[in-house]
Amino acid sequence: MTSINAKTDKTNEACETMNILLSIHHGLDHSAGAPGVTVKLADALSGRGHAVRVISFDDLKRLPGKLRGVVFPWMVFAHVLKHPEYDVLDLSSGDGWVVNVARRVFGWRSKMLTATRSHGLEQLAHEMLLQGCRDGIFTKSWKYPLYNGSYRLWECRKSFQMADLLLLLNETERQYASKRFGVDAQKIATVGNGIDECFAGVARRLIANDEEALPDLPVNVAFAGRATFWKGFPFLVEAMTAVLARYPQMKLGLFGTGGTEQSVLAEFPESLRAQVVVMPRYENHALPELLADYQIFAFPSLGEPFGIAPLEAMACGLVPIVAEAPGPGEYIRNGKNGVVVPPRDSAALARAIVEMVEDRERRLELRRAALRSALWYSWGDLAARLELVYCQHRQKSHSFEAI
């Protein structure tokens, strides 16, 4: 198994320029999850001299929603059929199964490296949904088994099983792919997502000004994410109700919650609402300024394939306190550059926040480590490490051909 999240002296090795195709089964949007990751990765790889093309649902605008999903893998196949010049096909899960079947059965486009990329393994999300239904938290739509709960899962499994390289987000996905899909561990690379330059620049500045703006009290707490169960919002509310009552001067900032300010504030006791700042929506580039008055980032999310919000907060100088989950566990080490608490444990979350508020020196120590960790995930550095993974796996596939 390869990990491009671990430091290696090989990242500076030169790779030849490549023609790379990226796909994403959504419309392109710089500020939205997987589409944003795809666009930013394309820009970073282009910045390193590679020729990069992105195809997306934007290329199928005339088709209605679900039909796009069914047709898209065939459109990807048609596009590759017309473009033999690609060296690397880096395709989102489910997008490349037609291409990969053609390559396996007919030996077609054998010199291309095909990679299947996870933006959150669909099978794991499916299992979480089923568990949530069993627990009475969710109710499945009758439409779910018609596509997302059946055919879509098959597409994704085939894409992963038949690719030359799997690009997964965390160790849990790696183990799942190895055990449940039967994929050779040598074909798997764990990759993270990156932080934008607006965050990397803040991290560099704060590292240079080590003691900058770290007050004793009040210490403020921030959260960024939807006010939903899966983001751990009910547990955050319960924990912060106790913490805010203990520290009347403390401020809790809630960013990107969705809904309305009034509906989010209604989750807190009326006596504490003056201490809570709610911003239902924000532009991502504005987040460093929004977080400037905060020192702790509380993020009790229950299921994050990667979880970029804690990493962005770390780059802004906040100490992350997160619930144990596969994604943040890739870059947050308990007691090293942040604090990890058990999931669904409001009391543990409250205790961790209080301990961090009370221990300024510990907070400064974790802050320094968090800043250094975040800077490792700039898009430019990630693109350099991914480039090396492409090169290594292309060499392997070519050596197999020679045999």
pLDDT tens sequence across 171-213: 999 999 999 999 999 999 999 999 999 999 999 999 998 755 5
Whether the pLDDT of residue 3 is over 80: the answer is no
**CATH superfamily, region 197-375:** Glycogen Phosphorylase B; (3.40.50.2000)
Instruction: Return the half-sphere exposure (C-beta side, CA atoms, 13 A cut-off) of residue 392.
Output: 18
Mean pLDDT of the chain: 91
Q: Which of 120-134, 166-180, 339-353 has the lowest mean pLDDT?
A: 120-134
pLDDT at 209: 86
Please give the CATH architecture assigned to the domain spanning 2-193+379-402. Answer: 3-Layer(aba) Sandwich (3.40)
Percent over 90 (pLDDT), the chain: 77
pLDDT of the residue at 142: 86
Cα distance between residue 30 and residue 36, in whole Å:
4
Is residue 400 predicted with pLDDT exceeding 60? no
Q: SS in 3 state form for 327-350?
A: CHHHCCCECCCEEEECCCCHHHHH
Per cent of the chain over pLDDT 70 is 93
CATH 3.40.50.2000 domain locations along the chain: 2-193+379-402, 197-375
The residue type of 123 is: Q
**Cβ neighbours for 136, distance < 8 A, ≥ 6 positions apart:** none
Q: Tell me the mean pLDDT in the region 320-335.
A: 95
**CA–CA dist 125, 230 (Å, integer):** 11
CA dihedral 127, 132, 134, 137 (to 10 degrees): -170
At 155 the pLDDT is 94
At residue 136, the pLDDT reads 84
Which residues, at least 6 apart from 222, have a Cβ–Cβ distance to it below 8 Å? 252, 253, 254, 255, 291, 294, 296, 297, 298, 313, 318
Does 395 score more than 90 pLDDT?
no
Q: Can you say whether residue 42 is alpha, beta or left, with left for phi > 0 and alpha for psi between -120 and 50 degrees? A: alpha
Q: Half-sphere exposure of residue 16, counting CA atoms within 13 Å on the CB side?
A: 8
- Confidence grade of residue 217 (pLDDT, cut at 50, 70, 90): low
Pick the residue with more confidence: 147 or 222? 222
**pLDDT bracket for residue 159 (50, 70, 90):** very high
Q: Are the C-beta atoms of residues 374 and 367 closer than 8 Å to each other?
A: no
Query: How confident is residue 218, by pLDDT bands cut at 50, 70 and 90?
Result: confident
Report strand pairing: 296-299 vs 319-323: parallel
What contacts 24+ positions apart, CB below 8 Å, involve 184-190?
Answer: 185/1, 186/1, 187/163, 187/393, 188/1, 188/2, 189/1, 189/2, 189/3, 189/4, 189/165, 189/389, 189/393, 190/1, 190/2, 190/3, 190/4, 190/5, 190/330
What's residue 9's pLDDT?
44
CA 198 to chain centre: 17
Q: Are 163 and 114 in contact, with CB atoms under 8 Å apart?
A: yes
What are 134's two structure tokens? 């069993």
356 phi/psi in degrees, rounded to 5: -70, -35
pLDDT category of residue 30 using cuts at 50, 70 and 90: confident
**221 DSSP β-pair partners:** 252, 296
pLDDT in tens, 81-119: 999 999 999 999 999 999 999 998 888 888 899 999 999
Q: What distance lies between CA 293 and its chain's CA centroid?
A: 25
Using pLDDT thresholds of 50, 70 and 90, give the confidence band for residue 23.
very high
Query: Is it the case that residue 402 has pLDDT exceeding 50?
Result: no
Mean pLDDT (whole number) for 253-267: 97
Other beta carbons less than 10 A from residue 94's beta carbon: 24
Nearest to 66 by CA among 144, 158, 154: 144
Give yes or no for residue 214 having a pLDDT over 90.
no
pLDDT over 70 at 273, yes or no: yes
Q: Do 199 and 374 form a contact (C-beta atoms < 8 A)? A: yes
pLDDT of residue 2: 59
Beta strands in 210-318 (DSSP E): 221-224, 252-255, 276-279, 296-299
> Sign of dihedral through CA atoms 48, 50, 56, 59?
positive
Closest CA to 276 of 309, 307, 298: 298
d(CA 82, CA 163): 20
Question: Which amino acid appears at position 50 of this protein?
Answer: H
| Structure token pair of residue 100 | 């990969």
Q: Which residue did the predictor score with more confidence, 403 or 16?
A: 16
pLDDT of residue 105: 87
